[in-house]
Each structure stands twice: as structure tokens, then as C-alpha cells.
Structure 1
């Protein structure tokens, strides 16, 4: 952080451009995006603008969410508290009903004199039903807010669902689905969001307003129903798509509590997999292009040298690994999330970090990077120093939790909680404190988490250590604020 503050002091003394000491912040949040991105090494999905952002900052390869579901994850990230502290572990819960005095990240910036604005989804929305509304927003956090709505909501009747929806379910927001409604990028909800954000970057330029900004742009994609202009589907011809094959042996050693199956995905065909992959990939590349427009605007307006950019997804997304889809489980692909931070006040030759990061740490880190005091009640820890020194280590483990969704296809299965830690080498998970099973995966030999080693005697010592670490992490994450 010292490097940041020193730079800003020189920046002001030299009289360069304007006399605002506070840097701007552009927070770009996406929905349900995993690390199947070219910037993370994926060989099919094209994300050139995220690659550009990485070259200008630091990409975090081991960033983990605290709860792989929109509401709980976003609440944890934006309050700096764990889900058991905010009380938010279900979709339609609002943290103000549990911790009304908690301050959000944008709220603190607002109190520090920043112009704070939200465009799109930052706090939770039911997608697609609440697109174009405030959703479950936190109005006190913003000076202004904008709710884009485009043809992907207006023409929702063109959605294709993988399987039948629930009776009387008009929207089907929780089911694997996609739509091909054509149109230009500027006609889609997320394209409209970009255009509004570009306007705000120009209108709220610090040189004109003498006020720094905290602009949060929340894209709805690639949340289901996957949607994008047709040109992005054309990037991924179905016949060239490689998809994850089912591995029946993989599921033999997985506890039932971890199997968050949906009825409509249990018998998915290879042809359907290609449709789903194509639409998901198209949605990602669409959002990547929109992010590129934001980055270009920063350059055009000479804001690049005074603006910290954070790109993050609210959680990952399973695409058939372990025979599972979407989120709400504790496998790597569900709880690992993309995260890139670019700060003009930090310069180094290393653009990747393998430090273990939790998204609860983003709150104090962003405050630290902007020179704002970090509240001492936060559970997250600042990793601002890693922006300067990406090779440094940070946490020993990342904690994630969820409630079992096995009951969706297994009537009568108990509603139990699962907690998991990811260390540098291992993932260790317990369901109902182990009463409904446990999992141990060795990432040194099994990065896809195929072989559950929980009963392997060769790993008994590691299991004991990991069990102790997990229970310590759970206890700490449940401390009242």
C-alpha cells in the first residue's frame, strides 16, 4: 500500500491533471463465470480483453468464493464477512435483516466522498425475472443506480430449456437454458449496461467533477439463460466444441450430499452438451467484448492512470464435471472464480499469482489500494501487497460452504451443510460434520478431483491435519461481529 500512497502524493504535488488524491475504482462483476477462459489457459474460449487486463495487472489463479451461490457470495464479498456472519445462506435473504449496521464496500466509498453508481447486477437479482428492476439491491450504497433491460429479457419466450420447467414457473431461471434472439450487442441487457457505464465514465470524469468515482458494472451473463448476439455463437461451431465427458467411475466415491443433480441434466445427450457449451462460450465472449469497451473508454478519457480496475465473478460454474452442472456444491470448478486486478500505481513483471485468496478479502484489499482505512471488524484480510509482489503467499487455506442440494433428485435426503477448505495441495470437505460423508482430493496428482482419498490410509496424517484446519476455519468464520 505504501507504494500507492507515495505515488498519489507525488501525483498531487506535481499538479498532474487534477488535484484529487483519491484514485477511481471500476468494479466489473460477472455472473456464473468459471475459469474456462483463454486468460486462464482454456484452449477454446476466447477472452482477449481479459488477457489485456491481465497484462496490465495481476491475475489470481487461486481465488475462491465463500458460498457458490449468487446472494450469499455477493453479500460476503461486499460486506467483508463470511456467510455465517451475514446470515445470508439462501437465495432470497437480505443481509440488512441480519446485520443491519454492516457497511458495504460501496457504502464506505460513498461516505468518503466518492460518487458511487451501480449499473446492472451487483447485489442479488433473480435472473431473468428481476432484470430491469432493483432486484435485492442495497440502495444506501449508491448515489445513483441504473437497471438496464434488453431483448434477452423482453423476448424471454424464445428461451430453450434443457428440460421441463417446474409447474407455473414462467422464468425458469435456475435451469440450464439458452436463447438465440439475434440483435446487436447494444440491444442486449449487458450491452445497454456498457453504454450507460461509458456515459458515466465521461460524465463523472474526475477532472470535471473534482470527485473520484466508484463505478460498479454488473453483467448478467453468462448466467442462464445463456444469451449473446449471433456473432458470438459463430465463434464456436458445434462440431469443433470439446466437452467434458461423463465419468461413471468418478461418482462412485462421492458422498450423496455432494451430488447436486438436477432432473433435467441427469440424462443430457452429447448433442445437448454441445448446445449448452456453445451458448455458454458465446455468452463469455460477449461479456469479454463489453469489458473491452470499458477498458478502451478509460484510455480514451485518460482515466487509465488514475483508475483501479477489478474484474471478478460471483462464483464458478460446473459444466458436466462429476456429472454435475451449475453451482451449489464444493468442487473446485464451482468455488474457484476468476479474479484480475489492475492498478496503475503498481508495476511488476509478474502478472499471475498463485496465492490463495478468498473473495471476502476483496473488501479490505480495495480499501487498502485506495488509501482508505479498513474497518477492524472485517473478517477479510487485505492482499494489496500481492499486487506488488505476486509471488508471495497469502492464506494457508480458503474456506467455502454450501447447503446440500442432493434432495432435489432424492426426496427425503436431509438438508445438511457442507464446508470445504482448499490448501495449496489439498481439498478437504465435510458434509454435516462428516456424518453425511467427507472428501479428500490431492491436487498434486488429481487436479480434476476424481479420486476421493478419504479412506486411503496413506493420507491419514494429512486428513487429521486438514480436519483440524477446517474446524478452526469454521469456528473463526462464525464469530459474531
Structure 2
């Protein structure tokens, strides 16, 4: 029996910063309940460490360079979902679902083209929760797709008193050990708490409406946390994401933790399979439904990540296996990009020179077991020559098979094309 309803909840910029992922100072009981009552993916990664490209992968099951969104889909950047690539809302709408968007969507300048029956434009968590409650108060017969996008966790963070850190606060090891890091992490966790309150109202409304049992509910985020050397990098702190799934009637094992490598392009085919809806052509993700039901599943040997544009043109691609990560940088730039909203934060302003040096290498290779912070580049060393050769071959193969435009030369942005044509 297929899932009657599909619920996809996202929030911005938290990586895996939830209590269910081992961060005891985070107050996230409602989101964490999905881990207790469903499945937690311990090693889920996004396709891109920035908002629009990653969200476009969630919405299409395709890599950013295949869905058209290789940079921000905001005015002034103007990246746009390829009109030949269907959004999840359009696929489900065609299958008879009433499709509702709550909050922003960040994959198109034209949300009316995406396939939503209705866009509830409220962006504050409490207002989003109220709008969801209103929709769920109607009859139960219509199948629903609810895409709910929270913004409380995006910078600028809520104002908080950071003079006393909460018990159990852990500062990511890649950040400097300074008071400003405590200040920003406390503020981020307040945003998570506020988001979690709104998510709790959504989950309660599903229960009250009698839809919780046969709804597949997914919670995830777009990319890693918005801190220096995380967001907008292909290091694990930029690509790691929380991914929680619950489907009570679907046979998911409550409280299960999956250690397989998974990519956020896998969410799209998983939701379609749960709803018993045919995949459109060109889907590159791999459905997780067989894995979650104990059926035959081909594990990923690697995941792939990419960045082309964010604040500026900074093309790079990576392949990550269980143990190693290889990054290929295609242009000269700063060692790490620090987006403007992070530059406005206290950590960056405490010492910008930490992040402003030039990029030292075209190829980066890391042993993630020995060097989980990805600080010792092994590329070019004889002792890892075979690993580097194998991962380079794997990365080039993926780029060829997916028709990566970088293989043909530099990728022009929409603004470049506008400048040439106007």
C-alpha cells in the first residue's frame, strides 16, 4: 500500500546539528522524534554545499549541473531550474496530489512554474505551522504533498545571551577556540530550537488530522552549518546533512540508524517509490526504499559533490568514499570561500586572515580516518599514489557520465549571458 501523503520538511544551514546526531546542547525534541520513530541516516551528504543547488537536487533527484541550478536562484544571480526537469511537486501533482509549498523554495525565480497547487508565502516558523494546520484541517481523502521550508536557522541568527554556554555545547574542531565561536554556536542553536518548535506543531497537526500513520515524513537540511570552512566548501562540514525518515505504515524500523553513504539526490526517488509514482526520465538518485524495507539494495561506494558558483565563480568537484576524499579545484581562489553572511559574523571578523590565503593546490586528497578535519593534503605523495589515481579516475568518469559542463570549459553564469546579450 503506497504512502497516502508525502511531507518534506527542510531547514537552512544546520548540517547535522541536532541532538539525535550527538549534540547534547541542541534542543530539538520534535525533529529528533522522527529518529526515534523512524530512521536516521548517519552519513547523508548533499550534492552541493550551498542553498539553491542542493535544494534543486532534493527537488529533482539530479546533480546541480544536470538540473540547471549551479548557483543561487536569487535576483542578481538568476540561476533557474531547467524547464525540462520536473520538480517533485509537478510529478506528484500530475499523479493526483494536492501540492502545497510553505515558506520559500530557493530553486527558481518563478515558483508558479514548479507545480504547486498553492504557495503559502509565510516565512516565520509559527506562521508556517499555522498554515499547515489549516491545510490539514480539511478532509482526509485528498493525497497531499507538503513541502515545508523553515528559515529560523539561517543567518542572521536570533539575538541571545551567550555569556553562559549551555551544558554540553561542543564547538566544531575546525573552528578557532575563541569566545566568538561560543557566541555564534549558541545563537545557531537558538535558531534550531525555534525551528524545532514549528516542526513540532506540524507533526502534531499530522497526528490530529489522522494522516501520520500513512504519511512518509522526511526532515533534512540543505547543507552544512553556516560557519567558516563549512558552508560553501566540499569538506565534510560543508556537505554533511541530517536526514531523518518516518513512515509507520511503510515497514521502516523505528529507531534504526543507517551507516550507508547516501546522497540527497536519493530523497526524490525514495518519495516517489513510497507514493507509488513513476519516476520521470533522467533521475540520478537511488531509491532508499529497498534499504529501509530490508530488501536488496546496491550500496553506494562513493558520493559526489560539486560547487560552481556562489558568491563568485569557484568551480570544484569531489568524490568521497568511506575512507578518502578527493577534491579537484578548477580555478584560482581563496583557500575557502566564506559567504557574506558568514563574513558578517563574529568568528570571521575575529581573524579574517585565517580564511583569506590563496588556494594552494589543484588536487586535494584526504584520509578521513586519520585526518577527519581534512587538514593534511596527501595529493602527490607516493604512499597514496594508487588511491589518488583510482579516485581521480572515478571523479573523471562521473563527470563524463553526467555530462558535466566543466569538461567543455569555464561555465558562464546567467549574468554573463545577460551582459553579452543586452
The bucket for the TM-score relative to the shorter chain is 0.7 to 0.9
2:316 and 2:327 in contact (8 A); partners too: yes
Deviation string 1:398-450 (CA, Å, 9 cap, x unpaired) is: 11111387x98xxxxxx441101111111111112999422112222222223
CA distance in 1, matches of 2:233, 2:382: 26
1:479 CA displacement: 6.5
CA contact (8 A) 1:404 1:418 kept: no
Per-residue Cα deviation, 1:144-180 (whole angstroms, up to 9, x for no partner): 111115xxxxxxxxxxxxxxxxxxxxxxxxxxxxxxx
Residue 400 of structure 1 corresponds to which residue in structure 2?
A: 305
Give the alignment's Cα RMSD to 1 decimal. 2.8
1:113-149 per-position Cα deviation (integer Å, ceiling 9, x unaligned) = 1110001023348xxxxxxxxx652444111111115
Could you tell me whether the CA contact under 8 Å between 1:236 and 1:281 is conserved in 2?
A: no
Alignment match of 1:217 (pick from 145, 148, 172): 148
- Out of 357, 368, 372, the position equivalent to 2:262 is 357
Q: Which residue of 2 aligns with 1:65?
A: 46
* Residues 1:272 and 1:62: Cα distance change in structure 2 (over 3 Å): same
Corresponding pairs, count:
372
Task: Please list, as runs of the form range in 1=range in 2, the aligned pairs for 1:212-291 lying within 5 A after superposition.
Answer: 212-227=143-158, 233=160, 237-238=164-165, 241-244=169-172, 270-291=178-199
Select the structure of larger CA radius of gyration: 1
Following the alignment from structure 1 to structure 2, what is the Cα–Cα distance between the partners of residues 471 and 269? 38
The 8 Å contact of residues 17 and 23 in structure 2, kept in 1 or not, is answered as yes
Query: CA contact under 8 A between 1:82 and 1:478: conserved in structure 2?
Result: no
Q: C-alpha separation between the residues in 1 aligned to 2:194 and 2:235? A: 26
Structure 1 residues 432 and 217: CA distance shift in structure 2, 3 A:
same
Verify: 1:342 aligned to 2:250, yes or no: no
Paired position in structure 2 for 1:35 = 16
Counterpart of 1:129 in structure 2 is none
2:112 and 2:402 map into 1 onto residues whose CA distance is 23
Distance (Å, rounded) in 2 between the aligned partners of 1:120 and 1:139: 16
> Under a length normalisation based on structure 2, what TM-score does the superposition of the two structures give?
0.80
Is 1:144 paired with 2:42? no
**8 Å CA contact retained: 1:347, 1:388:** yes
Indicate conservation of the 8 Å contact 1:70/1:314, yes or no.
yes
Match of 2:292 in 1: 387
Quote the residue 1:474 is aligned against: 399
1:111 equivalent to 2:42? Answer no
Structure 1: unaligned runs, 5 residues or longer: 1-7, 9-20, 126-134, 150-188, 248-267, 409-414
Change (3 A) 1:245 1:423: closer
Contact kept, 8 Å, 2:174 with 2:229, in 1: the verdict is no
**2:211 is equivalent to residue 307 of structure 1:** no
Provide the secondary structure at the position in 1 that maps to 2:327.
strand
- Partners in 2 of 1:245 and 1:475 — Cα distance? 36
Distance 1:416 1:436, change over 3 A: farther
Which position in structure 2 is the counterpart of 1:170? none
Deviates more, 1:392-401 or 1:431-440: 431-440
Contact 2:162 2:187 in 1 (8 A): no
**TM-score when normalising by structure 1:** 0.71
- Corresponding residue number in structure 1 for 2:125: 190
Match of 1:371 in 2: 276
Q: Is the 8 A contact 1:68 1:329 kept in 2?
A: yes
User: Is the CA contact (8 Å cut-off) linking 2:42 and 2:259 kept in structure 1?
Assistant: yes
Contact 2:304/2:318 (<8 A) preserved: yes
Match of residue 458 from structure 1: 383
The answer to whether 1:123 aligns with 2:50 is no
Map of 1:79 onto structure 2: 60
Name which of structure 1's ranges 347-356 and 310-319 shifts more when overlaid on structure 2.
347-356
Residue 239 of structure 1, CA deviation: 7.1
Q: Is the 8 A contact 1:58 1:390 kept in 2?
A: no
Residue 268 of structure 2 corresponds to residue 333 of structure 1: no
In structure 2, what is the Cα distance between the partners aligned to 1:244 and 1:341? 26
Secondary structure at the aligned position of 1:226 is classed as coil
Q: Distance in 1 between matches of 2:368 and 2:230?
A: 22
